Every structure is written in structure tokens, then in C-alpha cells.
Amino acid sequence: MSDKNWDIETDLLVAGAGPAGMTVAIVAALEGLDAVVCEKADQVGGTGATSAGTLWIPGNSQHRDTGFEDSAEDAAKYLDQMIGDDRSSEHRRAYLRCGPDVIDYLEEKTDVKFLPCGVHPDYRNNLAGAGLAGRAIIPQNFDGRVLGQDFDRVRPPIPEFMLMGGMMVGKADIVGLLGRYKSLGALRHSVSIVLRYLTDRLRFRRGTRLVMGNALVARLFYSLKKLNVPVLFESPIAEFIQEGESVTGAILNTPDGFRRVRARKGVVLATGGFARNPKYREAFMPDPTPPYSMAPNSNMGDGIALADALGAGIDTSGQGAGLWSPVSVTRRADGSEGLYPHLAMDRAKPGLIAVNAAGHRFVNEAVSYHDFVEAMYRAHETADTMPAWLICETGFVTKYGLGAIHPETRNLSKYLADGYVTVADSLEDLAVKIGVDAEGLINSVSRHNRFAETGTDEDFGKGDLELNRFNGDPSHRPNPCLGPIGAGPYVAMAVWPAEIGCSVGLSTDPECRVLDAEDRPIPGLYACGNDMGSLMSGSYPGPGTTLGPAVVFGWRAAMHAAGKLPS
């Protein structure tokens, strides 16, 4: 094409305004490149906006500065045991080598700031090299008001993660809210965030005190704005433009019509993975294909499909196609369905078990959300475990909450009416109502209760892992994760498998260049985030397994395009 045929010219065209794509554009701009972001949706953030916002960065300086010791060598030992040596091994070495420097780079040059989580165990602490603390970092809270009218461009959290119709709270806030009458400090904090929220609602659709993934996304977006990087909303790539075998630009389908974009340094795909694409779900997901996804409806696998049509390789070599969480299906105020991911707040607490249709336990309920779903699929080979059922007493729900039901809830009538939970006075009646074998359920509860007396789960080891105890109830003895299920009334909640991120994605080299079927780089084409095959190969080592690589490899893609990637 001659120069006059281009509507827009830039160095890098970045497809997708999630954490990976925004990181690419920010770093490109900081390193002297022109960048343009094109986003299919009308908001930034993607799945990252609704996440916990945690990044898994072994050896980070945020923890080292507070006295925690960690090393990339220990993390490498841990990952080698969990995953082994495979085609992503070099990616993992690059990730561990440059991860801490990437975070320091962003903190020094942008408004993206992080805090150490302190104790936050890796998910398989029975493997050598696993860390109990020092690897998980979270974004600092962010004041959404500084975005002005663009605050509405930040995709909100799921309603199930907000209080009072729009107030965000983090894990520390929940502790303070539940203990608001136990200390003056907790009461002050609780009152302050509620008053802040009520004030926000005079001007905004929701609270502007942003935490977790929403804080990360907003900080990235604010940094983009300060660097004057344009974000073209509702403007997905319709097709690539090539010169020979090189990708030199793309045609965008914008609200103002098709626009030709020249990308001198290349196009970066960060469109969020194939989560909502039925063809790819059926091809790559396990059988039965999970009926639910935590991804936005816009995540149709656009980037993967475009590269696939160009002859790119799709990396299916890992242990699985998804990074999983069990979810319960909620009924929202507008009548629509929602999903609540059961990450950490209920499954590890004492007095709850998970069973399949045979009424049998099939898993240590306190394992990571990813491992829980993998256990669901293994159990489903011999007994219906889609859905699985969380079983507890009403007293458990009042004390700890269950799914989207908050702690201190005593009246379950609303949740009974919309089918979110089932309640019965006897285990036999409960089994009949939910279609579970009654004898199996009664025997499972009885056996579990014997374990609760001794504090040792002889079947699945609930409470054995540090992760289990971290999410359990430290005041409960002798095992913070094992407690009896008593005389009722009893509660059952159905949970289903859903992915919180795709593991299968485009084949890349450690520089994020997309590879063809013969593992040769396609000139001018990069991928990162969930469009890139997961360097964790379908495993889930610790909190922040998706966001950590998204940010680090977003940085690597931009630095390679700028010719500044360290060796």
C-alpha cells in the first residue's frame, strides 16, 4: 500500500485493552514507540477487571523490602516439579528471570503500584521450592475519580463481588466489616468506606474506591491516558494486512467504518483468549465442555482465529485447556444469571463437604479452585459430578457465608426462592431434593464427622496443605478446615466448572512472537495474555498465575518490538 492508503499509522497496533494489552502499549510508549490500542468492547479491563488482581512474581522487591526472602531458583524448582520440562520451559525461565524487574519498571515509570501480600501460600506447598509467602503482590487501591468521565470506561466487577449495589471491598475490608464491633479501628474503617461509597453514588454509577483487579485495570488505563496513547473502543480487527509473509497492519471495524492501520513494528494480539468461542471450546476444553465461563461475552477468540487463519500454531501441549474455578449460578436483581467463583471464602472452612451425585466426597474441598475443578472432572468419569454439591448447615452459612451469600445471613428465603440453595431438615430429604444418593450422602457426612473429631481427614487430607489452613478458620481446633456437620437444617449449593482463563493459546517464542506450524516466527505478529499459550502449561502454581504472565510478557513484547529486550 502507498502511504495515502493508510487511515492511521503507528509503530505498534495492540488488539485488546486488558492487563496484557495495556501493558504492551504503556511500555511501547515509554520506550519511544507510537502505539494504538483497539478494543472490541466499549470498556477496558476484560477478565482482569473482575479478578482478584493478584500477580505471582517470585523474587519481587516489594516483599524483599519488607523482609521476606524468596528466589527465582526456588520457584523454578517448584515449577519443574509441577510441570516438568516442556515446550514452555524457556518461557518460564524468562518469566522468573525478568518478572521482578518488570514490576519495578512499572512502579518507577507509571501509576501502576503494587503491595506485598505477605503470607499467601503457593497452591502445592507439598512440592519442593513452593513458597508460603513473598510471591503474591496486589495493586494498590485506586481512586477512580481521577479518571473523570472515563471512569465509566473501566469494566466493573461482577455484582456478586460488590456490596450495597456498587461498593468494592477487598479481603482486608471484609475482615474489618465482619469485625466492625470488635475494635475501634475496624469500626472506623468500615464507616469510612461506607460513607465514601454513599458520597460516590451522588456522582457515579458505582463506588470509585477501586480494589483488586479493578484497581489494576484502572491504574493501567490511567497510565495510558497520561501517555496519550489512544484507545479505539468498539474497534476489533477485521483482518490483517500483509506484505509478503509479514504482518504490516490491520483493518479495524470501527463505529465510523473500516479503518486501515499501518503498524511499522507489528501487531500484538491480546484479545483475551477463546473463552466464548464455541468452536474452540469444543475442540480444546475437556469433555463435557464446561457450560460456563468467567470471561466477558466479547472474548470470542478473535485474536486466535485471525492468527489461526494465517497459519499460526496453537499450543495444545499443556496439561489442560483452562485455568479453572468452581462457580455457582446466581440470579441477579434484573433477572439475569450471574456466576460466583468459589475461590477461597467458603470451601476451606470447617463444616462443609463437596459431593457428587453418588453422595460421595471426591476432593479435599480446601484445595485451589483450579485443583477443585480438575478433581470434578476426574470424579465425573465414574459418577455424575456436573454439578458437584457443597453441603453444610444453615449455621455454617450464617458464620462463614456460602458463595454469594454473605456471612451473618440468617434468612435464606431469598436464595431459596431463586433456587440458589436448597434447604432441608434431614440429609435424606436434602438428597431427594437435589437428586443425590441419600445413603451415599448420609455415609459421607458420618465419615467426615469422624474425621472432624480427630482433626485428620483420612480420605483427602483437608487441612494438610498450608493453603488449606490459610483459607480455613484459625480459631477452630484441632483442624481449621474440619468441623462436624451437625443436626441441620442442611444446605446444598450446586457448583459447576468454569474457566477464569484459557491455557491453550497461540504458540509463541519467549519474545512473544507468534510461531507458525513449523515453529517459525511470523514477522510482525506478537501475542500475550490469554491469546498466548500459557507458560504454566495448564497448571496453577499460585495466586496470580494468569495476571503475572500477562503483565510480564506484555512488557517483553513491547521491549522486543522496541529492540530493547535484555538477553
Taking the C-alpha atoms of residue 348 and residue 472, their distance in angstroms, rounded to an integer, is: 5
CA 509 – CA 532 distance, rounded (Å): 10
Closest Cα to residue 513, out of 552, 555, 547, 560? 560
- Helix 19-30 to helix 89-109 angle (10° resolution) is 60
563 burial (CB, 10 Å; 0-12 / 13-18 / 19+) is exposed
- Per-residue HEC secondary structure of 215-275 comes to HHHHHHHHHHHHCCCCEECCCCEEEEEEECCEEEEEEEEECCEEEEEEEEEEEEECCCCCC
The DSSP code for 159 is G
Query: Is residue 235 a contact partner of residue 194, using CB atoms and an 8 Å limit?
Result: no
| Bridge pairing between strands 337-341 and 521-527 | unpaired
CA 139 to the chain's CA centroid: 14
The answer to whether the beta carbons of residues 294 and 327 sit under 8 Å apart is yes
Cell 507489528: give the residue.
266
Residues in the chain: 567
Digit-by-digit pLDDT tens for the chain (567 residues) are 445 589 999 999 999 999 999 999 999 999 999 999 999 999 999 999 999 999 999 999 999 999 998 999 999 999 999 999 999 999 999 999 999 999 999 999 999 999 999 999 999 989 999 999 999 999 999 999 999 999 999 999 999 999 888 999 887 787 777 778 788 887 888 888 999 999 999 999 999 999 999 999 999 999 999 999 999 999 999 999 999 999 999 999 999 999 999 999 999 999 999 999 999 999 999 999 999 999 999 999 999 999 999 999 999 998 889 999 999 999 998 889 999 999 989 999 999 999 999 999 999 999 999 999 999 999 999 999 999 999 999 999 999 999 999 999 999 999 999 999 999 999 999 999 999 999 999 999 999 999 999 999 999 999 999 999 999 999 999 999 999 999 999 999 999 999 999 999 999 999 999 999 999 999 999 999 999 999 999 999 999 999 999 999 999 999 999 999 997
Q: CA 57 to CA 543: how far, in whole Å?
A: 10
DSSP character for 516? B
Q: Are 36 and 8 in contact (CB under 8 A)?
A: yes
C-alpha cell at position 61: 522487591
- Which helix (H) or strand (E) covers residue 114, if one does? strand 114-116
Distance CA 251, CA 81 (A): 44
Domains 3-140+213-273+503-561 and 324-499 equal at CATH topology level: no
**Distance, CA of 19 to CA of 387 (rounded, Å):** 32
Query: Which run of H or of E encompasses 280?
Result: helix 278-284
User: Comparing C-alpha atoms, which of 168, 112, 108 is closest to residue 137?
Assistant: 112
CA distance linking residue 132 with residue 468, whole number of Å: 12
What whole-number distance in Å separates Cα of residue 17 and Cα of residue 272?
Answer: 9
Helix or strand run (H / E) with residue 173: helix 171-178
Q: Is residue 355 classed exposed, middle or buried when 0-12, 13-18 and 19+ CB atoms within 10 A define those classes? A: buried
Output the nine-digit C-alpha cell for 403: 458463595
The CATH number of 3-140+213-273+503-561, from 3.30.360.10, 3.30.465.10, 3.50.50.60, 3.20.20.10, is: 3.50.50.60
Strand 521-527 and strand 513-515: pairing? antiparallel
Q: Which amino acid, one-letter code, is at 114?
A: F
d(CA 335, CA 171): 28
**Annotated domain spans of the chain:** 3-140+213-273+503-561, 142-210, 324-499
Q: Which distant-in-sequence residues (6+ apart) come within 8 Å of 8 by Cβ? A: 36, 259, 260, 261, 262
Distance CA(180)–CA(347), nearest Å, equals 24
- Tell me the CATH class for 324-499: alpha beta
Dihedral of CA atoms 510, 516, 521, 522 in degrees, nearest 10, equals -130
What is the reported pTM?
Answer: 0.96
Q: Do the beta carbons of residue 545 and residue 500 sit within 8 Å?
A: no
Q: What is the Cα–Cα distance from 555 to 30, expressed in whole angstroms?
A: 11
Our CA dihedral for 477, 482, 485, 486, rounded to 10 degrees, sits at: -20
Number of H-type helices and E-type strands within the chain: 16, 24
- What grid cell was written down for 476? 477452630
